[in-house]
Amino acid sequence: MKRTIIACMASLTAFPLLSSTVVAQHIIPTPLEMKYSDPQQGNFTFTADTTIVADETLKNEATALAASLAPATGLKLVIQAEKTDGKQIKLALDPALKDLGKEGYTLQVTPTGIEVKAPTATGIYYGIQSILQLLPAEVVATQKQGANWSIPCVSISDKPRFSWRAFMLDEARHFKGEKEVKKLLDQMAALKMNVFHWHLTDDQGWRIEIKKYPRLTTVGSKRTDTQTGTWGSATRTGEPHSGFYTQEQIKDIVAYAADRHITIIPEIGMPGHACAAIAAYPELGTNKKPIEVMTIFGKAYDAYDPAAETTYSFISDVLDEVFTLFPSKIVHIGGDEVRFDHWKKSADVKKLMKREGLKTMADVQLYFTNRVAGIVQKKGRNVMGWNEILGDDLHGFLKDGQTAKAASLDKNTIVHFWKGSTQLAKRAIKDGHTIVNSLHSQTYLDYGYGNISLGKAYAFDPIIKGLTQEEEKRIIGIGCQMWSEWIPTVKRMEYQIYPRLGAYAEVAWTAKENKDYQSFKKRMVRQFKCWDIQGIQYAKNQIAKFSASDFFNHVKVDNWTPAQTPKDWKNVSFKTAGKITSAGNYEVVFLYQKGTHALEISELALLENGKQVAIDKHQAFSGGQLKGIIYKLKLPTFKKDAKYTLQARIKGSGGTDSHGEIKIRSGE
């Protein structure tokens, strides 16, 4: 048996990338390389005599594995430092695997043993997550279950595509509390996400205890009312809303995250999105006037006074306390959506501009950000901010070309790209900045599924076109953001987050060439079962729904236009554009693009030199809604010199003005 393992290990790097035919495994995100051993080898079964072998350096990970297995299996696996007889799960650091990086691992499963090896404890932890996902979904239950605790014999070699795999929770707008945060951290860890971006301060609430400034929470964590519905609405809850974390609670959550190999990046927003702090200490604002913690949502007028030294000493003091709580090397300072009205009217800001040679309001914000970056760097940390910190006009607040002229952003500052042309992110990269890509239209979890379907979330690729390979490395990953203005309840929050979190986990971890939406959807079936057991209220209908972006890895072979669209049922021919290249399964989809009326399809045939060789008969509708638009064709034998065409029976649905694409992919 030992020889088999060694043979497996030796050939590991030579495995072909996971093909779409290997979908029986359930791991999300898909590993880099995975191979089932000889099917004769069967399974590894967890039993009462299974032991975990790990030395002291991996005690946390070994304990996490035993603790994850115990409730549902009833097995209390013993952890020991040395191998003995009996079935073993061996966890071992192996510096020779350094090519797997800080988070990669190998996992070997045979009937008599499991071995997880990695250069770091984080890699070992991720290997354990893969073991747990290979087990039946019931493993996540908190009570003993009757499942068969076996996993298939596999060999995996895995590492992430990106080092920054973030989920952001906005608790300033609606406070959810410690229990919910821990539940989210558990889900992130299972999906191998490693950055919890915690949006803790905003106009509508300050949620972190700062001992030097008690009013930040005695005043700033409370609001008297809350706008409901959507932007600009006149409806209110009529109820106060409040909540904050004590420093003890934060330490506990930071440790909980660290046990799961998750870094928490706190976001302390400035100079805008600061009304809760200004309500607590009006002298922080440019106007020096008392204000209330905001009860409505949108872009506020009040902002910290960039011309007052006391602003910077306040920020420095707050960050001193923040840094004692969060070991992260990076602090997020927001920087988004500053309205400059108060700054424009301020005599002190005018003086500041004159003194520092600042030409525009964007320059003033850059001056502010660079000052804060300097303060933060002196404390041994670094700053990250939304891409407004570059000084571009994303909101029309910098009219008359008032974008940054004089100042330029500190190059160590990490730019969190969320809005505007990708050219802005590209320019920042070329200027030497590191980028996290959280483009709102692709990654905002507060957006409905109509805007960002599960497939669209899955299709997101954070790499921006037109960069050199070296420049691409400056895009360190992605974030997905749960903004909570209109998300007061946990139920609603979970509906928005899940299942899209699974898609973003795979976007961030899985090699681009291994991304496969159809396989993902199949793997999500087990994940749904886990969430059902855990009581997570995910959006259940998302697997069945389609949008055009679900088919990002299908290849376009032809179009339909009004000219080809008949009023009544008729056979119409379409090209295969050389994409039929072997015998086997093909999937053809009809994707509506524009027009008032949809296209209806009743059957699709594959013709070989004009003769039908495969057919799928079913009704489909391709318009604003996409129903039944996938046709499956199986070509029994391929003839090299034959001409392959598609023949669809179609009609316009009440009109013939639609346009769309016909896309194909093999292997399904």
Distance CA 494, CA 537 (A): 5
| Closer residue to ligand ACM in complex, CB, 95/232 | 232
Give me the residue label for tokens 């929470």. 217
Residue 444: CB minimum distance to ligand ACM, A:
7
Q: Contact between 418 and ligand ACM (CB under 6 A)?
A: yes
Three-class SS state of 638: coil
Taking residues 293 to 332 in sequence order and writing x for each that binds ligand ACM by CB under 6 A, - otherwise, the string is ----------------------------------------
Taking residues 520 to 539 in sequence order and writing x for each that binds ligand ACM by CB under 6 A, - otherwise, the string is --------------------
Distance CA 482, CA 484 (A): 6
Q: Quick one: tokens of 648?
A: 């669809």
Strand partners, 267: 199, 332
Q: Contact between 198 and ligand ACM (CB under 6 A)?
A: no
Asked if residue 394 lies in contact with residue 400, where contact means CB atoms within 8 angstroms, the answer is no
Residue 56: CB minimum distance to ligand ACM, A:
43
Catalytic residue status for 273: yes
Q: How far is CA 2 from the centre of its chain?
A: 39
Distance CA 10, CA 4 (A): 10
Catalytic residue status for 337: yes
Pairing of strands 382-386, 43-45: unpaired
Backbone dihedral region for residue 577 (phi beyond 0: left; psi -120 to 50: alpha; all else: beta): left
Picking from 454, 463, 580, the residue whose alpha carbon sits closest to that of residue 528 is 454
Picking from 133, 135, 120, the residue whose alpha carbon sits closest to that of residue 61 is 120
Residue 600: CB minimum distance to ligand ACM, A:
40
| Closer residue to ligand ACM in complex, CB, 244/418 | 418
Residue 417: CB minimum distance to ligand ACM, A:
10
| Closer residue to ligand ACM in complex, CB, 386/592 | 386
Which is the catalytic residue, given 209, 337, 393, 616?
337
Q: Residue from 138, 336, 410, 608 that binds ligand ACM (CB under 6 A)? A: 336
Three-class SS state of 541: helix
Residue 463: CB minimum distance to ligand ACM, A:
21
Q: Contact between 590 and ligand ACM (CB under 6 A)?
A: no
| Closer residue to ligand ACM in complex, CB, 333/601 | 333
Picking from 462, 467, 479, the residue whose alpha carbon sits closest to that of residue 432 is 467
Distance CA 615, CA 612 (A): 7
Q: For 423, phi and psi rounded to 5 degrees?
A: -60, -30
Q: Contact between 386 and ligand ACM (CB under 6 A)?
A: yes
Residue 447: CB minimum distance to ligand ACM, A:
11
E-only strand ranges, 467-610: 475-482, 555-560, 570-575, 584-594, 599-608
Q: Contact between 587 and ligand ACM (CB under 6 A)?
A: no
| Closer residue to ligand ACM in complex, CB, 336/587 | 336
| Closer residue to ligand ACM in complex, CB, 304/386 | 386
Total number of residues binding ligand ACM (CB under 6 A)? 4
| Closer residue to ligand ACM in complex, CB, 140/480 | 480
Residue 442: CB minimum distance to ligand ACM, A:
13
Q: Residue of minimal CB distance from ligand ACM?
A: 336
Three-class SS state of 514: helix
Three-class SS state of 611: strand
Taking residues 444 to 463 in sequence order and writing x for each that binds ligand ACM by CB under 6 A, - otherwise, the string is --------------------
E-only strand ranges, 334-376: none
Three-class SS state of 662: strand
Q: Residue from 115, 337, 392, 410 that binds ligand ACM (CB under 6 A)? A: 337
How many C-beta neighbours within 10 Å does residue 461 have?
Answer: 15
- Alpha carbon dihedral 89, 92, 97, 98, in 10-degree steps, equals 140
Pairing of strands 626-627, 330-332: unpaired
Q: Counting beta carbons within 10 angstroms of the beta carbon of residue 617, is it exposed (0 to 12), middle (13 to 18) or buried (19 or more)?
A: exposed
Residue 633: CB minimum distance to ligand ACM, A:
44
Pairing of strands 626-627, 611-622: antiparallel
Residue 574: CB minimum distance to ligand ACM, A:
42
Q: What is the DSSP string of 161-192?
A: S-SEEEEEEETTTS---HHHHHHHHHHHHHTT
Picking from 143, 112, 130, the residue whose alpha carbon sits closest to that of residue 33 is 130
Residue 380: CB minimum distance to ligand ACM, A:
26
| Residues sharing a CB contact under 8 Å with residue 492, sequence separation 6 or more, in sequence order | none
Residue 286: CB minimum distance to ligand ACM, A:
20
| Residues sharing a CB contact under 8 Å with residue 389, sequence separation 6 or more, in sequence order | 333, 335, 365, 366, 369, 409, 413, 415
Which is the catalytic residue, given 103, 170, 171, 202?
202
| Closer residue to ligand ACM in complex, CB, 171/516 | 171
Q: Quick one: tokens of 391?
A: 């000084």
| Closer residue to ligand ACM in complex, CB, 386/504 | 386
| Closer residue to ligand ACM in complex, CB, 299/345 | 299
Identify the sign of the CA torsion 245, 247, 248, 251: positive
| Closer residue to ligand ACM in complex, CB, 44/417 | 417
Residue 386: CB minimum distance to ligand ACM, A:
4
Which is the catalytic residue, given 26, 199, 261, 273?
273
| Closer residue to ligand ACM in complex, CB, 388/516 | 388
Identify the sign of the CA torsion 300, 306, 309, 312: positive
- Site residues, ligand ACM (CB under 6 A): 336-337, 386, 418
Instruction: Return the active site residues.
Output: 202, 273, 337
